[in-house]
Amino acid sequence: MNRSRRILASLVATTCLVAGVGSAAAEVDPSPGSPGAGDRYFPDYGNGGYDVIHYDVHDRVGFNRGRLSGRTELRATATQSLSRFNLDMMLKVTAVKVNGQVAEFRKTNRHELQVTPASPIAEGTDFRVQVKYAGVPKRLRWNGERPWLGNRREIVAMGEPQMAAWWFAANDHPSDKATFDISIKVPKHKKVVANGELEKITKGKSRNTWHWRAAEPMAAYLAFFGAGNFALERGRTPSGLPYVYAVSRQLNQRQREQSFNLLRTTPKVLTFLEKWLGDYPFSSTGGLVTGLEVNFALENQTRPTYPYSGGKQSSWLVAHELTHQWFGDKVAVRNWRDIWLNEGFATFFEMLWADNYGSATPQKWLLREWGYYPQSFWQLKIGEPGAARLFDYPVYQRGGMAVQALRHRIGDADFKALLRAWLADRENGSIEDFIALAEETSGEELDGFFRAWLFSSKRPARTVANGLA
């Protein structure tokens, strides 16, 4: 993202005893899945006891009253023997089925949907869930936010760290990735863009259904859709990657042309980033410039959303969101506390992209920034910023500086090898994983370096060890 700048009744004893005494083999008694994924910052985000494999979302959106109704069908694998499990869903739920059978459900609070299937789900088995829901997402507040973005003409379902539960039944935590089919039904004169590739448009009398498919696994917060009056441009990049550029018709013609020009920088920026980060990780690309007044851009997988930038050629923002396709999307944060792995690298490559155009060298930029900020800037420990300050300015700026300092400390060859090794074949990671890999790749002891840059409330001393001399 770039901003302009939370049981449990223990099981009934008799059930356990019967199963326990009966089979000496390791039959595990079914128990409730946790109502959270274990994230210290956001204990109710995500859920325990299963991994989602695939989401099939079918929503219908209305523009006048802002109503959304639909159903999410998901396939998941039980990671424990489940007597019940939770999903994250802000809207009112009207029906739930598990493996085709009607299931009991209740909202334990606005955010948490507790589902009790007719029979327990054995560990290691796949199961299907269908959830039907309806409501007005813009009215719904959680964790002090009302994140829904939309007006009578346009809707963009995107947000970080929360938005998924406002439009589909989700295991909303970056540690659980799944593939997606996203089908959105809108009035005939509206268009829909979402992640991945457009499968088909099913035409109805007054409404059309736009079906998009994201073939590569993604975190729930990176799933998005935009619905409105959009101008679309589709094609293939010089390297053969299908793209979709969408620009809101709420913008005037001159603004639309500027916005398309911004989106058209995508292939060039990707080519630049691939030199550092390896092949682009997904099978399509593109972007949406929204006409809504939003104060942030977001790295939706394959298709970031940008606010209208006022006509400046701000391709640094494209570089930021496209860097996230590797740092954030391909390799997700293990927990929200690891946000530096997203924003630090996106800010660093933003700056490197600008350097590519000759404005300053990265090390000059680092030293200038190091000398520029007052003590208050350095107070935030960006390796542990806290939930309320997850997207504060130092997470970005000190974060990007830390990456350049690391590059300077271990040298370009090791730095590049580190990036490639980090991005090679992991779905998510923590700061500690990254530090261990950095030490392994460089053969250097880097605890002091990372303490100074990520876990200290002071400006790092200007030393060789801190990458500053």
Query: Looking at 94-102, 303-311, 338-346, 427-435, which segment touches Zn ion (CB under 5 A)?
Result: 338-346
Query: Looking at 15-23, 109-117, 163-171, 341-349, which segment touches Zn ion (CB under 5 A)?
Result: 341-349
Query: Looking at 93-101, 146-154, 346-354, 458-466, which segment touches Zn ion (CB under 5 A)?
Result: 346-354
| Phi and psi at residue 105, to the nearest 5° | -150, 155
Give least dist CB 2 to Zn ion, A.
5
* Residue closer to Zn ion (CB basis): 70 or 429: 429
* Residue closer to Zn ion (CB basis): 210 or 316: 316
Query: Looking at 63-71, 343-351, 363-371, 457-465, which segment touches Zn ion (CB under 5 A)?
Result: 343-351
What is the amino acid identity at position 9?
A: A
* Residue closer to Zn ion (CB basis): 46 or 400: 400
Q: Residue from 2, 81, 171, 466 that binds Zn ion (CB under 5 A)?
A: 2
* Residue closer to Zn ion (CB basis): 305 or 441: 305
* Residue closer to Zn ion (CB basis): 76 or 289: 289
Strand partners, 64: none
Residue 182 binding Zn ion, by CB under 5 A: no
Q: Residue from 89, 241, 269, 346 that binds Zn ion (CB under 5 A)?
A: 346
Give least dist CB 324 to Zn ion, A.
6
Give least dist CB 407 to Zn ion, A.
19
Query: Looking at 303-311, 331-339, 344-352, 420-428, which segment touches Zn ion (CB under 5 A)?
Result: 344-352
- In angstroms, the CA 431 to CA 324 distance is 16
Residue 1 binding Zn ion, by CB under 5 A: yes
Residue 323 binding Zn ion, by CB under 5 A: no
Query: Looking at 26-34, 172-180, 238-246, 337-345, which segment touches Zn ion (CB under 5 A)?
Result: 337-345
* Residue closer to Zn ion (CB basis): 5 or 205: 5
Residues in contact with Zn ion, shown as a per-residue x/- string from 355 to 384 under the rule CB under 5 A: ------------------------------
Query: Looking at 14-22, 340-348, 369-377, 451-459, which segment touches Zn ion (CB under 5 A)?
Result: 340-348
Give least dist CB 346 to Zn ion, A.
4
Give least dist CB 321 to Zn ion, A.
7
- In angstroms, the CA 382 to CA 199 distance is 41
* Residue closer to Zn ion (CB basis): 90 or 263: 263
Residue 300 binding Zn ion, by CB under 5 A: no
Give least dist CB 454 to Zn ion, A.
17
* Residue closer to Zn ion (CB basis): 222 or 418: 222
Give least dist CB 147 to Zn ion, A.
16
Task: Please work out the total of residues on this chain that contact Zn ion, with binding judged by CB under 5 A.
Answer: 4
* Residue closer to Zn ion (CB basis): 346 or 452: 346
Other beta carbons within 10 angstroms of residue 342's beta carbon come to 27
Angle between the N-to-C axes of helices 431-442 and 412-424, in degrees from 0 to 180, rounded to the nearest 10: 130
3-state secondary structure the chain: CEECCCCCCCCCHHHHHHHHHHCCCCCCCCEECCCCCCCCCCCCCCCCCEEEEEEEEEEEECCCCCCEEEEEEEEEEECCCEEEEEEECCCEEEEEEECCEECEEEECCCCEEEEECCCCECCCCEEEEEEEEEECHHHCCECCECCCCECCCCEEECCCCCCHHHCCCECCCCCCEEEEEEEEEEECCCEEEECCEEEEEEECCCEEEEEEEEEEEEEHHHCCEEEECEEEEEEECCCCCEEEEEEECCCCHHHHHHHHHHHCCHHHHHHHHHHHHCCCCCCCEEEEEECCCCCEEECCCCCCEEECCCCCCCHHHHHHHHHCCCECCCEEECCHHHCHHHHHHHHHHHHHHHHHCCCCCHHHHHHHHHHHCCHHHHCCCCCCCCHHHCCCHHHHHHHHHHHHHHHHHHCHHHHHHHHHHHHHCCCEECHHHHHHHHHHHHCCCCHHHHHHHHCCCCCCCCCCCCCCC
* Residue closer to Zn ion (CB basis): 73 or 160: 160
Residue 438 binding Zn ion, by CB under 5 A: no
Q: List contacts with Zn ion (CB under 5 A).
A: 1-2, 343, 346
